[in-house]
C-alpha cells in the first residue's frame, strides 16, 4: 500500500494479485507535489507475467514523464505497449493552482469523484485497450471543489455503494480500511486508488 499526503491532497493506493500469483497484472504510479497529483493505473490483459509486464511498461513511461499532459502520457503508454500483451490504462492529473483535473481512460477502469455538495463526476472511458495500434483518447477536464473525494479502480474491484461511501465523513485511512475489507475476490488482480482534494 502507498500513502501520499500534503496540504493539497491525501491519496492511498492498494492492490492484490489474482489467487496466489507472485506478480500482479495491475500496476499503478502516484506522485504528489505542491503543483499537482498524478495517478496512472494500468490493468494488463489477463494475469501473470505478461499482464504484469504490460502494465509496468505503461506506468513506467508515466513515471519518466510526469510533467507531460494527460493526452501526451496516454499516447506514450500506447506506444510503449506495441508488441506487448496490451493494457487498460487510466491517467488522472490534478492541477491544484487551477483547481482542475484531467482524466483519460481506455478500457474497463472506473473513476468516480464526489463533491461535498453530492455531485458525481463519472467520466466515461473509451472501450478497448492500449496495444500500440492507432488509438483515439477522450481526455476530459473538470473543475473540482475542495474536499472532493475520488476513487479509481480496476475491474477486479468488488464494488461497494460508492456514492454513500465517498459522501460520508470518513477519513481517507478509514475509507481504505473499509474498501480493503470488501475485497474478497481472488479470481482477478485488483487495484484501487482513493483520495481527497483538500
* Whether the Cβ atoms of residue 158 and residue 179 lie closer than 8 Å to each other: no
* pLDDT tens-digit readout, 132-179: 999 999 999 999 999 999 999 999 998 778 778 787 767 889 898 888
Residue 60 CA neighbour count, 13 Å, CB half? 9
**C-alpha grid cell for residue 67?**
510533467
Please choose, from the candidates 55, 65, 77, the residue with its C-alpha nearest in 3D space to the C-alpha of residue 31: 65
Q: Which domains does the chain have, with CATH numbers?
A: 2-197 (3.60.40.10)
* pLDDT tens-digit readout, 75-116: 999 999 999 999 999 999 999 999 999 999 999 999 999 999
pTM to 2 decimal places: 0.95
Distance in angstroms (rounded) separating the CA atoms of residues 62 and 35: 17
Amino acid at each position: 500500500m502507498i500513502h501520499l499526503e500534503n496540504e493539497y491532497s491525501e491519496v492511498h493506493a492498494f492492490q492484490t494479485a489474482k489467487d496466489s500469483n507472485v506478480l500482479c497484472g495491475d500496476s499503478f504510479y502516484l506522485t504528489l507535489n505542491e503543483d499537482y497529483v498524478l495517478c496512472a493505473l494500468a490493468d494488463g490483459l489477463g494475469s501473470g507475467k505478461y499482464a504484469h509486464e504490460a502494465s509496468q511498461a505503461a506506468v513506467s513511461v508515466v513515471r519518466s514523464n510526469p510533467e507531460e499532459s494527460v493526452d501526451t502520457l496516454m499516447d506514450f503508454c500506447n506506444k510503449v505497449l506495441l508488441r506487448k500483451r496490451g493494457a487498460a490504462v487510466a491517467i488522472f492529473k490534478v492541477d491544484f493552482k487551477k483547481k482542475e483535473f484531467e482524466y483519460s481512460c481506455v478500457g474497463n477502469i472506473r473513476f468516480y469523484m464526489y463533491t461535498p455538495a453530492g455531485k458525481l463526476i463519472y467520466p466515461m472511458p473509451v472501450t478497448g485497450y492500449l496495444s500500440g495500434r492507432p488509438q483515439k483518447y477522450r481526455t476530459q477536464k473538470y473543475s473540482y471543489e475542495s474536499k472532493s473525494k475520488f476513487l479509481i479502480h480496476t475491474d477486479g474491484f468488488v464494488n461497494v455503494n460508492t456514492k454513500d461511501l465517498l459522501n460520508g465523513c470518513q477519513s481517507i485511512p478509514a475509507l481504505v480500511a473499509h474498501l480493503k475489507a470488501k475485497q474478497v475476490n481472488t479470481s482477478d488482480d485488483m487495484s484501487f486508488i482513493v483520495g481527497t482534494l483538500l
